[in-house]
Amino acid sequence: MQLVTIGQALQRSCREIDHTDMRILLQHVLNVDHAFLLTHPDQVLTSKQEEIFDQLVARRVNGEPVAYLTGERDFYDLTFKVTPAVLIPRPETELLVEFTLERIPANHACRVLDLGTGSGAIAITIARHRPQVSVVAVDLSADAVSIARMNARNLEVNNISIVTSDWFGELLGEKFDLIVSNPPYVADGDSHLKQGDLRFEPRMALAADADGMACIKKIISAATEYLVPDGWLLLEHGYDQAAACRQLLEEAGYRNTFSRPDLAGIMRVSGGVI
């Protein structure tokens, strides 16, 4: 049987999938970093490594997200375990974390709620960067809660409580200084749901009724009962929903409403103070 080197495996696969995807998959199979691939192009793969790599490439050709194939995704400055039970953390969501951290001074004790936590990426990152803060993260999916709890353990984040809850359902009477959420905001009939990685991600974490606004409306309306005076609500939303979010916030009594763009210039986060 002909032996295959790192360089040959990469060259062979570049005709089938994106170069970055190919590199990440091979790094995963070999348990090495990018620098190792660059400096060891002549290292020979074992037959088992070659077999696993070829299988992953074939699955990626079929459309499966790289994050699900490797079981992890980098977010902010941490690495999170992910499965098809949770949404894949995306760079644009880091904006929501940045705005949250801006509103929490270092060494300041307060309570933060993350609604629809999924993998726990938002909540755990906030908790990691603000160790004096008490973070509560909720998700309706028991599988998502299990994954978020695993991520919290793996990343040794202890100032967080992760609860199975339908939005505020298990939080009656609790108050928070800041509530954040990346809720489902894609319209049910949006063609993007049938394209790319979205085909493999949990629909309940992506889509919300005909215009994608159902969950956002529910959160904006209900959050007023769970925020302390001068408490903030920050929401990620779709590219065309910023104006509608601000209007809903203002109608519900929030002040200092705003929207901010992500690095691509798309209005991505809106919020206000109650």
User: pLDDT tens digits, residue range 56-77?
Assistant: 999 999 999 999 999 999 999 9
**Is residue 67 assigned to a domain?**
no
**Is residue 69 assigned to a domain?**
no
Assess contact for 182 and 114: CB atoms under 8 A. no
Q: Do 25 and 95 belong to one domain?
A: no
Quick one: CA torsion of 145, 83, 204, 246, rounded to 10 degrees? 80
Mean pLDDT of 107-112: 92
Q: Do 135 and 49 belong to one domain?
A: no
Q: Do 167 and 44 belong to one domain?
A: no
- pLDDT > 80? residue 2: no
**Is residue 78 assigned to a domain?**
no
- pLDDT > 80? residue 15: no
- pLDDT > 80? residue 49: yes
CA distances in angstroms from 160 to 45, 79, 271, listed in the order given: 42, 17, 23
Nearest Cα to Cα of residue 233 among 165, 166, 182, 164: 182
Q: Do 49 and 116 belong to one domain?
A: no
Q: Do 133 and 218 belong to one domain?
A: yes
**Is residue 121 assigned to a domain?**
yes
Q: Do 58 and 90 belong to one domain?
A: no
CATH number at residue 122: 3.40.50.150
**Is residue 79 assigned to a domain?**
no
**Is residue 41 assigned to a domain?**
yes
**Is residue 107 assigned to a domain?**
yes
What CA–CA distance (Å, rounded) separates 250 from 271?
Answer: 10
Element (H, E) at 79: strand 78-81
What CA–CA distance (Å, rounded) separates 207 from 272?
Answer: 24
Domain span at 126: 84-273
Q: Do 227 and 95 belong to one domain?
A: yes
Per cent of the chain over pLDDT 70 is: 99
**How many domains does the chain divide into?**
2
Q: Do 176 and 120 belong to one domain?
A: yes
Mean pLDDT of 184-193: 85
How many beta carbons lie within 10 A of that of residue 66, not counting itself? Answer: 21
Q: Do 39 and 117 belong to one domain?
A: no
pLDDT of residue 73: 96
CA distances in angstroms from 143 to 17, 112, 119, 175, listed in the order given: 30, 22, 9, 26
Q: Do 138 and 182 belong to one domain?
A: yes
Q: Do 95 and 151 belong to one domain?
A: yes
Q: Do 113 and 54 belong to one domain?
A: no
> Is the C-alpha dihedral spanning 252, 258, 261, 266 positive or negative?
positive
**Is residue 72 assigned to a domain?**
no
Global pTM reads 0.93
What CA–CA distance (Å, rounded) separates 100 from 129?
Answer: 11
pLDDT of residue 154: 98
